[in-house]
Structure 1
Amino acid sequence: MIGQPTTHPAVATSSGRAAQSGLYGWIVFALSFGLLLSDYMSRQVLNAVFPLLKAEWSLSDTELGALGGIVALMVGLLTFPLSILADRWGRVRSLVLMAALWSLATLGCALADGFGQMFIARLFVGIGEAAYGSVGIAVVLSVFPRHLRASLSSAFIAGGAFGSVLGMALGGALSAHFGWRWAFAGMALFGLVLVVVFRLAVTEPRLQARRQALGEEAETGSREPAMALRPLLAALFSARSILCAYVGSAMQLLVMGALITWMPSYLARYYGMATDRAGVVAAGFVLAGGVGMVLCGAMTDWIARHAPCRKWAIAVTYSLTCCILLLTAFRLPAGSAQLALIGAGMLFVGGAAGPASAAVANLTRPAIHATAFATLTLANNLLGLAPGPFVTGLLADHIGLSGALQVVPLASLLAAAAFLAGRRYYAADLLRLEGRHEAGAPGTTN
């Protein structure tokens, strides 16, 4: 890990005052959000060059799906252990190391000479990105008041959609003008620059000063020893409603991941668009998904401000609306009506992310938030983002890409069912876990 710099007392005092201000919280959010953009730009730039790689290396849709899915698979497998380490070793140092690794691995993608080398490079992209989402959102939530959790969670998670937009649009443009290798190289350089800026501006002492100014308990350090594995697992999995949040979020992201991955190829095959044009149009759909995440999160906080249990019903509504719109869209012939319905469906495809993240935050203690969000990320990737692109590619090889995309939105029905179950258990789980916390056992605070 990269060590923390030694700070002069006078500088530390000045930094402490800055960290206590609301402005510093937004600086942390902006830089963490920027790294999340880099994360997904490096991940999703591949989608923009699918047609070029398919032609140059004679790849099947299943192989293309594997290149897309391996990143999410590594994120799912490694996010939990790496997030536990980040909670103990220091979140800032961990974030810097992660971002440096995925940026260098993306540069390796630019140098790949075949499917095997590209697969290995993409694997290391996934290792670097594994715990960023969970640790990054824990850092962001630590410097803001609790009542903003759903809005901040949605806005932060939406960075994945916005990063996908930039990765696909810029990747398509760079590949059209300079070749697909420069698309990967451009994403890598952007990430490395952000790593340096983040490392200079964000430190553990400044984060702790901001948290103390908000009156929150210490997340790391001497106030509280690291939680043993058994009570940690109990805190993460004992509540039935938190399990429902994991599953519901993952099923919705299966749909979103499949669409983000395959929309450039769908537009190229069924609308005859060139690589750069398909990348830009697909990026527009992903942008709709990101905007929808932010709007849905803000709407959720507003509607449920006096009744938190409403967040579950709102998540069900988002999932069902998405399912109906996308199922209808992909059964229409290619044309403006289909594109309009796909865009409408994308507004709701990530809407449940905010309510699910807020539920996870409310059902766990701040000291283990990075690990809790790691568990959510694990579910999102192993059950959603990893199988989504791969299963879609597998189906496409048998029934065509259009047929595959007519099946994928059905996962939203599973998401709605999970959120309905979570709504049933949420209030009782909160009371039980708060009772544990008051008794001194691992639990939660609302």
Structure 2
Amino acid sequence: MQRATRPLLALGLLTALNFLNYIDRYILPAVQPLIKREFHPSDTALGALTMVFILFYMCVAPGVGFLADRKSRKAIMVIGALIWSGATLLTAVTYSFTSLLIRHTVVGVGEATFSLIAPAYIADLFPAEKRGRILSFFYLAIPMGAALGYIIGGALGTRYGWRAPFYVCAIPGFMVAVWFYFAADEPLRGESEIALHTVQRTTFRGLLRNPAFWTATLGLAMMTFAIGGISVWMPTFLEREKGIPLDRANYYFGLITVVDGLAGTAVGGWLGDLWLRRSRGAYYGISAISALLALPGAVYAFYGHPAWIFPSLAVAEFFLFLNTGPLNAAIVNSVAAPIRATAIGINLFIIHLFGDAFSPVLIGAISDRSSLRLGFSVTLIAMVVSAFILFLGTRFAPPRAHERQLAGALA
């Protein structure tokens, strides 16, 4: 195989691993009502399943990012994929709520090891001006995997028990990880970009004073708060408060997620790269606008007539997914290659610390005292805050390629 095809092969295999990653992650919310019937936890405790996963995920991220900027990223990603695939098989021996918590913790460690390095690795395969579309392709795995997780979880869980769906993605995870290790190359750090070596973009100390990085990170944190809370509790909300059978609720929510996710992520990546030709703040601007456009659909889905819940969810999810490619491209473009994996590790720590580490628990706690309908209100506030931060970020976006070339020539 010619080396010219290697970037596309690596992108395809990493996307496949990300796809399996998100199937595994979203089976859990699909089977939460079944877990509740077996172990009888409160809604707060159910939300803690996601919180424990995210806490370990985000605590591992900075250290793994630091290591990945110095060692083989390919090897570290493969180790992470093997860890979460193996932990998924441990579902067979989870016969208490505590053992389920432990299993979910190990999955979080493995998924963090893979997920934070992949964007930095991909960024070194493709130039900055294509990263909106390229990362949109990689992140198509989120809606596709999430949708299949809901559908598989709902279909197999109600028929064969809540443990059965987790086995579906474990063996393919092992196989794709090994294939990637032997088929993909390790790109040079910074191979695909024209560098403008500012202190803010190339050093850890400079990263702390990098407003382009921090506005993108905090904006994404608020989006993660909203999306994480909605994705964990929506199947339960549809069954409990709308009276929709669990398998049907998961099927339709999964179908909406995959269609909207594919369309929104693809359109967002294309629009972001197109707008970037006119404005360096394009990735921030389109993400802010999409957060605001998601609000009306979300409000009606939570509080409107039950007959319109699925169309309303479809509108909200389309705009929530629209920012996936642009916002992640903004983050990788805001830092230079030598510290990119470290920066993404810090980014993951922050977005989960202020995002989905506690939004499911907060929504569950509100539900225990009132209702899920009221609990979802906190996600609407997060969308507004995200839009405000990202509009600020348009002022701090990094230079585009031709601007870096000009700056380099004048230096």
Decide: shared fold, TM above 0.5.
yes
Matching of residue 334 in structure 1 with residue 306 in structure 2: yes
Aligned counterpart for 1:407 among listed residues 378, 382, 400: 378
Alignment of 1:348-387 (within 5 A): 348-387=319-358
Displacement of 1:310: 3.1
Q: State how far apart, in whole Å, the 1-side matches of 2:246 and 2:266 are.
A: 29
**Runs ≥4 in structure 1, deviation > 3 angstroms?**
214-217
Alignment of 1:383-398 (within 5 A): 383-398=354-369
Kept in 1: contact 2:44–2:365 (CA 8 A) = yes
Displacement of 1:356: 2.5
Q: State how far apart, in whole Å, the 1-side matches of 2:82 and 2:299 are.
A: 40
Kept in 1: contact 2:280–2:394 (CA 8 A) = no
Q: Residue 303 of structure 2 aligns to a residue in which SS?
A: coil
Match of 1:165, as an amino acid?
A: A
Displacement of 1:203: 3.5
Displacement of 1:416: 0.9
Q: State how far apart, in whole Å, the 1-side matches of 2:255 and 2:361 are.
A: 23
Once the two structures are superposed, residues 42-96 of structure 1 have per-residue CA deviations (whole angstroms, 9 ceiling, x without a partner) of 2111111111111111111111111122222222111111111122121010011
Aligned counterpart for 2:210 among listed residues 226, 239, 252: 239
Match of 1:370, as an amino acid?
A: A
Partner of 2:22: 40
Kept in 2: contact 1:250–1:379 (CA 8 A) = yes
Kept in 2: contact 1:111–1:181 (CA 8 A) = no
Kept in 1: contact 2:190–2:336 (CA 8 A) = no
Match of 2:380, as an amino acid?
A: P
In structure 2, relative to structure 1, the CA distance for the partners of 1:112 and 1:421 (3 Å cut) is: same
Q: State how far apart, in whole Å, the 2-side matches of 1:231 and 1:289 are.
A: 33
Partner of 2:141: 159
Q: Residue 308 of structure 1 aligns to a residue in which SS?
A: coil
Aligned counterpart for 2:241 among listed residues 270, 273, 278: 270
Q: State how far apart, in whole Å, the 2-side matches of 1:83 and 1:340 are.
A: 40
Greater Cα offset, 272-281 or 137-146: 272-281
Kept in 2: contact 1:77–1:382 (CA 8 A) = no
Matching of residue 198 in structure 1 with residue 184 in structure 2: no
Matching of residue 314 in structure 1 with residue 296 in structure 2: no
Partner of 1:53: 35
Match of 2:350, as an amino acid?
A: A
Q: State how far apart, in whole Å, the 1-side matches of 2:354 and 2:114 are.
A: 18
Aligned counterpart for 2:58 among listed residues 76, 82, 86: 76
Greater Cα offset, 314-323 or 154-163: 154-163
Kept in 2: contact 1:71–1:122 (CA 8 A) = yes
Q: Residue 253 of structure 1 aligns to a residue in which SS?
A: helix
Aligned counterpart for 1:283 among listed residues 254, 271, 296: 254
Q: Residue 425 of structure 1 aligns to a residue in which SS?
A: coil
Kept in 2: contact 1:80–1:371 (CA 8 A) = yes
Displacement of 1:304: 2.5
Match of 1:60, as an amino acid?
A: S
Q: State how far apart, in whole Å, the 1-side matches of 2:277 and 2:194 are.
A: 21
Displacement of 1:276: 2.4
Q: State how far apart, in whole Å, the 2-side matches of 1:31 and 1:71 are.
A: 24
Partner of 1:172: 154
Q: State how far apart, in whole Å, the 2-side matches of 1:375 and 1:110 are.
A: 33
Q: State how far apart, in whole Å, the 1-side matches of 2:116 and 2:38 are.
A: 36
Displacement of 1:246: 0.6
Q: State how far apart, in whole Å, the 2-side matches of 1:215 and 1:63 are.
A: 46
Superposed CA RMSD: 2.7
Q: Residue 272 of structure 1 aligns to a residue in which SS?
A: coil
Greater Cα offset, 252-261 or 401-410: 401-410
Matching of residue 139 in structure 1 with residue 121 in structure 2: yes
Aligned counterpart for 1:252 among listed residues 223, 226, 233: 223
Q: State how far apart, in whole Å, the 2-side matches of 1:111 and 1:83 are.
A: 32
Please give the TM-score of this superposition, normalised by the length of structure 1.
0.83
Matching of residue 113 in structure 1 with residue 84 in structure 2: no
Kept in 1: contact 2:253–2:310 (CA 8 A) = no
Displacement of 1:104: 1.1
Structure 2 unmatched runs, 5+: none
Identity over aligned pairs, percent: 28
Q: State how far apart, in whole Å, the 2-side matches of 1:173 and 1:378 are.
A: 33
Kept in 2: contact 1:257–1:385 (CA 8 A) = yes
Displacement of 1:289: 3.4
Matching of residue 187 in structure 1 with residue 195 in structure 2: no
Displacement of 1:290: 4.6
Displacement of 1:430: 8.7
